[in-house]
Structure 1
Amino acid sequence: MAKLAALACAAAVAATTALPAFGAEDYPSRAVQLVIPYDVGGGVDAVARILAAHMNTAFGQPFVVDARPGGATHIGTNHVARAKPDGYTLLLTGVSTMSLQPLIFAGITYDAIESFEPIGMVSRIPMFVSVADTAPYRDLPGLIDGAKGKPGGLSYASNGNGSLSHLSTEVLAARAGIDLTHVPYKGFAPAIPDLVSGRVDMLVSDLAAVSAPLQGGSVRLLAVTSVERSPFQPDVPTVAESGYPEYQAENWLALYAPAGTPAPVVERLGDELRQFLKSDPAREAFARLGHVPDPTDGAAVTRRVVQEQKTYAPALEAAGLGAR
């Protein structure tokens, strides 16, 4: 009996070692769903299609972009959080979904940290502080001085309450010790005419939102909110350079899998993602969208979310937008 048990044990070990580790060799063996919690045709959709096209070629299986908008990105995000953790359902999303929404909506059914396995960062989108070209402010210190001279007298536009534009401006105002009046709009498009005309004094947005008036000479960029100067506007100083060294705010996208996805699958996807993001084709494709590729790993994604939630929570509370 002991000899039979030993033989059975040896056979089991041999069978186990003969099988490839899940995900190391046999993944993917069928189509992969790449979910975006946004509408088709937007910036996230464009990035998703760039990634999907590369992954199709790299893995020899279809990566299908699946747009599931609605519920302030909750619908698509929840779909992935509840999906089978086998690597065949992925999520492309960013700062609003992971760093802001959990602070605003108490009823969210996903956890930004616990419900997902971050595969890696994908891109960063610089934000710019802009004013009308007719405004008297030539740089950010000048704008701050103007605001200090008339507390609450300067206004800023955003693309909505609780948006990154809104909160990043509130954080800047807090760091600078100024009081600004918030004017929320339903998107950047309706805010631009009021910025150009001077009805509102400033705006923090991505470059795409102000590209037309910037090219037309009716808008001036005072600072970029990222840690480093933007490759798209290298002459524009950072907010940190302008006197606020601890300040940073930028939009970003990252690739996620559901929590519990096998490590070999996450590693294989992450390795391929980072290799692609370091390539010239990726840099060129992303530059056309105003994005900077970011080939950092999943741990960097988690650190970013944790830090951003700490940064934006006080601003949300001050604005009366804490979790409800």
Structure 2
Amino acid sequence: MNRRAILGLAVGGTFGGLAAPRFAAAQSGAWPTRGSLRLVAQFPPGGLVDTVSRLMAPMLSQSLGQTVVVENRAGAGGVIGTDFVAKQPADGYTLLVSHASVHVFSAATMPTLPFHPVTDFTHMGMLVEASNVLLVKADSPYQTLDQYIAAARTRPVRYGSSGIGSAPHLLGAMLTGETGAINLDHVPYRGSAPAMQDLMANQIESMIDPITTNVQLMKDGVLRALAVSTPQRLAAFPNVPTFAELGFAKLTSAQWLGLSAPKGLPAPIAERLTTLIPQLVARPELMARFEELQTLPRNPPPLGADFTTIINQQIGEWTAVARQFNIVVT
């Protein structure tokens, strides 16, 4: 799961079987020709998905020559908005900023979903990835992961997460299993914000969360990160060790955001959108913002079939973790 792994094929090879006339039709502007496109964000305004959606929308609009409107359809941990897109016409006018939290972690922990995370979608490619961090307050007695684990072997140490079955929950379960920290207790919340409120109020000792919304608090010295789930240390936080270098290689992971559409999207439209992804995520103004959020694209971004393969692989990996620790969302 190396975020910098070179997994993508050349864009031209991703849809190499397309007939030339159909490709020409897509390039000639046969789509889009009517109304605006909607880019569905399946989480509330202000979060990572909404932020990336609103960064991408004007860039897509400029590239396609048609207005792209962000539409928030939040609820049920992203399932409602994702299901909405799965059931829309595959005409290229409804797109989704897909998220691993739904397409991978919900698939791994929920017995049933109203859609299939792979076969009910056309997955064009990965946009960015966000690592997870283990956080404590700056005045916490835990200066290192070793101190934190040693404490959790002898007395209760609580970690908050954005909910049961979330990526932070599964990472915490893996940390417990890998270290034998039997008193490391999970406290689920309805999102990251209430978990952070309780961390600040000393109701919990720690929190596992995507780095994106915590960058400024880390820079300001309000929060201390004990470890990050990237394969290598982050350039913005060179003093924060990775779980891997501390001996926990299995805790190397990231949550991706991608660009997807309903299944059956015509191949010329899929190719046009897929071709745009590397161009868009490399734009300097977007890269600058991604750097601020510490939520970065892979180089090159996985596209088409390669992106779909990653989704399938991750569903298998995290389903095994969920079963190992009996994590089920009902």
TM-score band, normalised by shorter chain: 0.7 to 0.9
Q: 2:98 maps to what in 1?
A: 93
2:254 to 250, 255, 278: 250
Q: 1:191 maps to what in 2?
A: 195
Pairwise CA distance, 1:80: 1.6
Q: 2:167 maps to what in 1?
A: 164
How far apart, CA to CA, are the structure 2 residues paired with 1:134 and 1:169? 22
Identity %: 30
Residues 53 and 70 in structure 2, CA contact (< 8 A), matched pair in contact too: yes
Residues 140 and 222 in structure 1, CA contact (< 8 A), matched pair in contact too: yes
Q: 2:328 maps to what in 1?
A: 322
Q: 1:263 maps to what in 2?
A: 267
1:80 to 62, 78, 85: 85
Q: Secondary structure at the residue paired with 1:23?
A: helix
Pairwise CA distance, 1:264: 2.3
Q: 1:280 to 1:178 in 2, by over 3 A?
A: same
1:110 to 85, 109, 115: 115
Q: 1:119 maps to what in 2?
A: 124
Pairwise CA distance, 1:92: 0.6
Pairwise CA distance, 1:218: 4.2
Residues 282 and 293 in structure 1, CA contact (< 8 A), matched pair in contact too: no
How far apart, CA to CA, are the structure 2 residues paired with 1:87 and 1:321? 36
Q: Summarize the alignment of residues 219-230 of structure 1 with structure 2, pairs less than 5 Å apart.
A: 219-230=223-234
How far apart, CA to CA, are the structure 2 residues paired with 1:231 and 1:257? 33
Pairwise CA distance, 1:263: 2.2
Residues 39 and 96 in structure 2, CA contact (< 8 A), matched pair in contact too: yes
Residues 93 and 253 in structure 1, CA contact (< 8 A), matched pair in contact too: yes
Q: 1:7 maps to what in 2?
A: none
Q: 1:214 to 1:288 in 2, by over 3 A?
A: closer
Q: Which moved more, 1:244-253 or 1:118-127?
A: 244-253
Residues 134 and 228 in structure 2, CA contact (< 8 A), matched pair in contact too: yes
How many residues are treated as equivalent by the alignment? 307
Pairwise CA distance, 1:18: 7.0
How far apart, CA to CA, are the structure 2 residues paired with 1:238 and 1:145? 18
Pairwise CA distance, 1:207: 3.0
Residues 138 and 222 in structure 1, CA contact (< 8 A), matched pair in contact too: yes
Residues 119 and 254 in structure 1, CA contact (< 8 A), matched pair in contact too: yes
Q: 1:279 maps to what in 2?
A: 283
Q: 2:186 maps to what in 1?
A: 182
Q: Secondary structure at the residue paired with 1:190?
A: helix
How far apart, CA to CA, are the structure 1 residues paired with 2:47 and 2:137? 26
Higher relative contact order (Cα pairs below 8 Å, separated by 6+ residues)? 2
How far apart, CA to CA, are the structure 1 residues paired with 2:92 and 2:140? 51
Q: 1:134 to 1:42 in 2, by over 3 A?
A: closer
Q: Secondary structure at the residue paired with 1:189?
A: helix
Q: Secondary structure at the residue paired with 1:93?
A: strand
Unaligned ranges ≥5, structure 1: 1-15
Unaligned ranges ≥5, structure 2: 1-18
Residues 35 and 67 in structure 1, CA contact (< 8 A), matched pair in contact too: yes
Q: Please identify the structure whose Cα radius of gyration is greater.
A: 1
Q: 2:244 maps to what in 1?
A: 240
Q: 1:305 to 1:175 in 2, by over 3 A?
A: farther
Q: 1:9 maps to what in 2?
A: none
Letter in 1 for 2:124: I
Pairwise CA distance, 1:318: 5.3
TM-score, scaled relative to structure 1: 0.84
**Is 1:135 matched up with 2:173?**
no
Q: 1:48 maps to what in 2?
A: 53
How far apart, CA to CA, are the structure 2 residues paired with 1:193 and 1:32? 37
Pairwise CA distance, 1:65: 1.4
Q: 1:309 maps to what in 2?
A: 315
Q: Which moved more, 1:31-40 or 1:111-120?
A: 31-40
How far apart, CA to CA, are the structure 1 residues paired with 2:20 and 2:162? 55
Q: 2:5 maps to what in 1?
A: none
Pairwise CA distance, 1:135: 3.2
Tell me how large the CA RMSD over aligned residues is: 2.6
How big is each residue's C-alpha offset from its partner over 1:75-96, in whole Å with a ceiling of 9 and x where there is no partner? 2212221222222211112111
Residues 213 and 293 in structure 2, CA contact (< 8 A), matched pair in contact too: no
Q: 1:156 to 1:28 in 2, by over 3 A?
A: same
Residues 130 and 204 in structure 1, CA contact (< 8 A), matched pair in contact too: yes
Q: Secondary structure at the residue paired with 2:76?
A: coil
How far apart, CA to CA, are the structure 2 residues paired with 1:275 and 1:20? 19
**Is 1:66 matched up with 2:71?**
yes
Pairwise CA distance, 1:304: 3.1
